[in-house]
């Protein structure tokens, strides 16, 4: 998948302003709008020749409003312990060594492995699409948070795109 296609998929699953207002929002928060419709970057801070969807995303767009569970994408990819970190939560960070290696959730303080997230960075970004779609549907009151059947359906989609059952636990924590 190319970056433009990925961004089009994000826009398709963006919550409807009308449904958000009907669901009880007084106004549409910027973080919701900007998390599904990314702004282009004004300058290229990545002076690297590294390729891959994730580098293209960070090189050309501002992904810092993409959030899922307690995680949020950073403003830029950072080097840490021989790898690249690109998102974090209050207790962990997501990292990879190169775009073909696994995405791993690490404990922020001890840098120990908490979860395996995806077979590679492209798979991780693809697995985020159904997760973000589920969050969008929940925000719009289309799917209830405790709808077990729908949660399982989306968990299976995320797991498939992430690369299989080895990555299910990470997405299960974000869905249930």
pLDDT of residue 47: 54
46 contact partners, CB below 8 Å, separation of at least 6: 55, 58, 59, 76, 77
pLDDT of residue 43: 65
Residues 66/84, Cβ–Cβ less than 8 Å: no
81-88 CB contacts, 8 Å cutoff, 24+ apart: 81/111, 86/54, 86/58
Structure tokens at 100: 């073909």
Confidence of residue 52 (pLDDT cuts 50, 70, 90): confident
Question: Who wins on pLDDT, 43 or 7?
Answer: 7
pLDDT of residue 4 exceeding 60, the answer is yes
pTM: 0.93
pLDDT of residue 42: 73
Confidence of residue 44 (pLDDT cuts 50, 70, 90): low
Judged by DSSP in three states, 77 sits in strand
pLDDT of residue 41: 86
Confidence of residue 46 (pLDDT cuts 50, 70, 90): low
pLDDT of residue 50 exceeding 90, the answer is no
Average pLDDT rounded to a whole number, residues 39-62 = 80
Residues 77/58, Cβ–Cβ less than 8 Å: yes
Average pLDDT rounded to a whole number, residues 24-28 = 93
Interval 105-159: pLDDT, tens: 999 999 999 999 999 999 999 999 999 999 999 999 999 999 999 999 999 999 9
Interval 78-105: pLDDT, tens: 999 889 999 999 999 999 998 889 999 9
Domains of the chain, by residue range, sit at 3-175
């Amino acid at each position: 998948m190319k970056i433009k296609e990925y961004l089009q998929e994000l826009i398709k699953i963006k919550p409807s302003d009308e449904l958000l207002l009907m669901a009880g929002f007084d106004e549409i928060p910027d973080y919701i709008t900007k998390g599904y419709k990314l702004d282009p970057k004004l300058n290229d801070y990545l002076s690297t020749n590294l390729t891959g969807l994730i580098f293209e995303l960070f090189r050309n767009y501002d992904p810092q409003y993409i959030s899922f569970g307690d995680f949020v994408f950073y403003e830029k990819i950072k080097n840490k312990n021989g790898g690249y970190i690109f998102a974090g939560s209050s207790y962990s960070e997501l990292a990879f060594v190169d775009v073909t290696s696994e995405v791993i959730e690490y404990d922020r303080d001890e840098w120990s492995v908490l979860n395996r997230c995806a077979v590679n960075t492209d798979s991780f970004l693809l697995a985020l699409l159904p997760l973000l779609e589920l969050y969008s549907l929940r925000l719009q009151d289309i799917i209830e948070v405790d709808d077990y059947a729908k949660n399982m359906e989306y968990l299976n989609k995320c797991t498939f795109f992430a690369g299989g059952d080895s990555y299910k636990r990470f997405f299960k924590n974000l869905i249930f």
